[in-house]
Amino acid sequence: MAFVRLNEAVFLESVLEVPIPVRFIFVLLGPSQANMDYHEIGRSISTLMSDKHFHEAAYMADDRQDLLNAINEFLDCSIVIPPSEVEGKDLLKSIATFQKLLLRKRKEREQKSMKEGDVQEAKGQISMEEEEEAEDDPLKRTGIFFGGLVRDIKRRYPKYLSDIRDALHSQCLAAVLFIYFAALSPAITFGGLLGEKTEGLMGVSELIISTSVLGILFSLLGAQPLLVIGFSGPLLVFEEAFYKFCQTQDIEYLTGRVWIGLWLIVFIFIIVAAEGSFLVRYISPFTQEIFAFLISLIFIYETFYKLYKVFAEHPLLKFYPPNVQSGLNASMLSADAMSLGIRMQPNTALLSLILMLGTFFIAFFMRKFKNSRFLGGKARRIIGDFGIPISILVMVLVDYTITDTYTQKLNVPSGLSVTSPHKRGWFIHPMGSNGTFPLWMMFASAIPALLVFILIFMETQITTLIVSKKERKLLKGSGFHLDLLLIGTMGGLCALFGLPWLTAATVRSVTHVNALTVMSKAIAPGEKPKIEEVKEQRVTGVLIAALVGLSIVMGNMLRQIPLAVLFGIFLYMGVTSLTGIQLYERLLLIFMPSKHHPDHIYVVKVKTWRMNLFTCIQLACIVLLWVVKSTVASLAFPFVLIMTVPLRRFVLPRFFHDRELKALDSEDAEPNFDEDGRDEYNELHMPV
């Protein structure tokens, strides 16, 4: 069945016997041998269209739901006559009486709505304000110093006991195991890169300790403990640029970071005191989608780039080099031979590819298995919840059983010590190791501190916005002011100990929320799976950060994990974080015939070519950000990201109508279901 409304009325000469302009067409197709009378259905539609109110509703309907509401209203004013022995005038008299009563009620409703029409707008305004107050908007300004911070504390801390109780669930344990590896892998990867960029002044040890200590403190004190605190690519770009500046100016790098940290604390306190987080209101979904898409893209790119490096170091050869023994007996080889053997293992690249794809596809299989028909519901849910740890364990065992092929393992430091003990200690003196730090640099450090502040502000606040979307159904709320104060202040103090600054990691935080999301178990055909609840608590964040810190103690065990397995986790996080971003959904629609487009608001309300134009503008912004990130202008990354805000607010309204922008900014894409429901929804979502 299809109910069609034409843009303009046309004459259907080959269908109708009389020349009447037709605006509506009802199409009904079905098998010739059926237990229903198609003509009766057609007569029912004709009866509907003969009703004045339904006819007007059909002209004004924007989507299918408006049409269904009009049908329901028609039925409310209709009389169903069952087969009976009453006939003739008696039947007509009773029907007429009842019909008059129904029509009178409808007329009273219309008159009442017309009288209240003038007052409705004012009432709507009041109700919206009351609703906002009921929701206790975390970005609402109080007009007093630190007013937003005080409101964050009053809103969030009374729910502290429930943050402990809600963690008593098997899904929380599975989330801890999954996100632990998801947090440890970037800490080690970025730590190694940081050690290369700073010549050992900061490395894996410092980043692991910073991730652990700051993660525990933030999970205990933060307003949104579901955020995962970690190091990010933009911060690495800044550290490299500042280290090169210090080398050219003959300035102590770690001492310069101390003064940057002190200025950072000053900036943070000024913004929090002035309730500056309200500026987040101007970061529309346009910018949020660009940022989230870019971060997910970086995860996917880094996965394949690391795999490419493995193939470059271990090219596929038909035979082993004759001067190198198979199996890598390091104790029996000289240093040169061992080095050559590690670099030229012909099966290493192939096994690394298998381990990476194996981890990724097993995790995906577990996600689909959760919605399959095998085993019982509880067994499926347990297996699905622990899908990531299971995939890691399986592929580690595969690598362990293949003893004659070398794979690069996780490099975890042994013992609690700095990366380069001969260069630095655990405390960095603000005046320099020799008391020679220049006075002018103490004040000039405010400029790089401003860059660090912009990075931390943008990444933390955008991540909080993405995590706190309404469709995720978080009930305990967020606190933009409190979280910014904690992350910024702890980061500033970290500089005194030579530890890296951290921020809210977007992909890890979104994945953390997904892992704690409980979906509805009973899904009817055609019904979209709904989020029942999210396990909002503090325990998983504390345990994840504590395990990252204990990784130094568990070094011997973790060194058995191949890096290729962590590549698979990177890929899984990047891919699953893409789904649920409206930009990603619209990007897929570009390659899909319009007849297969879903009934989302941004599809129904916006013409296809204009929707694709909007998508291409966002893609152009992503390309520009990628170019800036990859060149010597990388320090300008936060400024280019900020420029997407005025682009959306002032430039795009010149090319798109307000109703189009509202539809494109709507959060009508399905939320990122990650482990639950999404595949079943795609299979069952059919018009009812």
How much is the average pLDDT of 643-652?
84
In order of 26, 157, 626, the CA distances from 476 in angstroms are 48, 10, 35
How much is the average pLDDT of 304-314?
83
Q: Is the pLDDT of residue 643 over 60?
A: yes
Q: Which of 212, 205, 202 is nearest to 258 (CA)?
A: 202
Residue 124 is predicted with a pLDDT of 52
- State phi, psi for 533 to the nearest 5 degrees: -165, 165
Residue 385 is predicted with a pLDDT of 62
Residue 670 is predicted with a pLDDT of 42
Which residues fall within 8 angstroms of residue 559, CB to CB, at 6 or more apart?
409, 410, 411, 412
**Ranked by mean pLDDT, which of 190-199, 321-330, 442-451, 519-528 comes out on top?**
442-451
For residue 24, list its beta bridge partners: 5
How much is the average pLDDT of 545-574?
79
Question: Which residue in this structure is represented by tokens 């706190």?
Answer: 468
Contact present, 477 and 520 (Cβ < 8 Å): no
* Residue 683's pLDDT band (cuts 50, 70, 90): very low
What's the rounded Cα separation, in Å, for the pair 40 and 96? 24
In this prediction the pTM is 0.63
In order of 64, 168, 239, 295, 504, the CA distances from 232 in angstroms are 44, 31, 11, 9, 9
Q: What tens digit of pLDDT does each residue of 489-534 get?
A: 888 888 888 888 888 887 788 878 887 877 766 555 555 667 777 7
Tokens in use for 276?
């500056």
Residue 85 is predicted with a pLDDT of 58
Q: Is the pLDDT of residue 184 over 60?
A: yes
Q: Is the pLDDT of residue 688 over 60?
A: no
Q: Which amino acid is at 583?
A: L
How much is the average pLDDT of 671-676?
38
Question: Which residue in this structure is represented by tokens 């608001």?
Answer: 601
Q: What tens digit of pLDDT does each residue of 368-378 get?
A: 776 666 776 66
Tokens in use for 388?
């990531």
Q: Is the pLDDT of residue 334 over 50?
A: no
Residue 114 is predicted with a pLDDT of 62
* Inter-helix orientation angle 563-578/170-197, to 10°: 110
Average pLDDT, the chain: 76
Residue 24 host element (H or E)? strand 21-27
Residue 134 is predicted with a pLDDT of 45
> In sequence order, which ranges of 226-284 are alpha helices (DSSP H)?
233-249, 253-273
* Inter-helix orientation angle 506-515/285-313, to 10°: 100
DSSP-based three-state secondary structure for 267: helix
For residue 534, list its beta bridge partners: 517
Residue 390 is predicted with a pLDDT of 80
Q: Is the pLDDT of residue 578 over 70?
A: yes
Q: What tens digit of pLDDT does each residue of 440-456 get?
A: 778 888 888 888 888 88
* Residue 677's pLDDT band (cuts 50, 70, 90): very low
Q: Which of 218, 210, 185, 238 is nearest to 499 (CA)?
A: 210
How much is the average pLDDT of 57-65?
85
Q: Which residue has better confidence, 344 or 69?
A: 69
Residue 414 is predicted with a pLDDT of 67
Q: Is the pLDDT of residue 686 over 50?
A: no
What's the rounded Cα separation, in Å, for the pair 267 and 491? 12
For residue 3, list its beta bridge partners: 26
Q: What tens digit of pLDDT does each residue of 339-363 get?
A: 444 555 667 888 888 888 888 888 8
How much is the average pLDDT of 239-250?
80
Residue 582 is predicted with a pLDDT of 80
Q: What tens digit of pLDDT does each residue of 256-275 get?
A: 888 888 888 888 888 888 87
DSSP state of 562: B
Q: Which of 177, 218, 157 is nearest to 512 (CA)?
A: 177
DSSP-based three-state secondary structure for 7: strand
Residue 112 is predicted with a pLDDT of 66
Mean pLDDT check: name the lowest of 79-88, 111-120, 542-551.
111-120
DSSP-based three-state secondary structure for 347: coil
Residue 133 is predicted with a pLDDT of 47
**Ranked by mean pLDDT, which of 53-67, 165-179, 381-395 comes out on top?**
53-67
How much is the average pLDDT of 313-318?
72
* Residue 687's pLDDT band (cuts 50, 70, 90): very low
Residue 110 is predicted with a pLDDT of 65
Q: Is the pLDDT of residue 227 over 80?
A: yes
DSSP state of 185: H
Contact present, 456 and 265 (Cβ < 8 Å): no
Mean pLDDT check: name the lowest of 259-263, 449-453, 633-637, 656-660.
633-637
What's the rounded Cα separation, in Å, for the pair 225 and 222? 5
Q: Is the pLDDT of residue 410 over 70?
A: no
Residue 629 is predicted with a pLDDT of 75
Q: Which amino acid is at 560?
A: Q
Q: Which of 517, 512, 522 is nearest to 532 (CA)?
A: 517
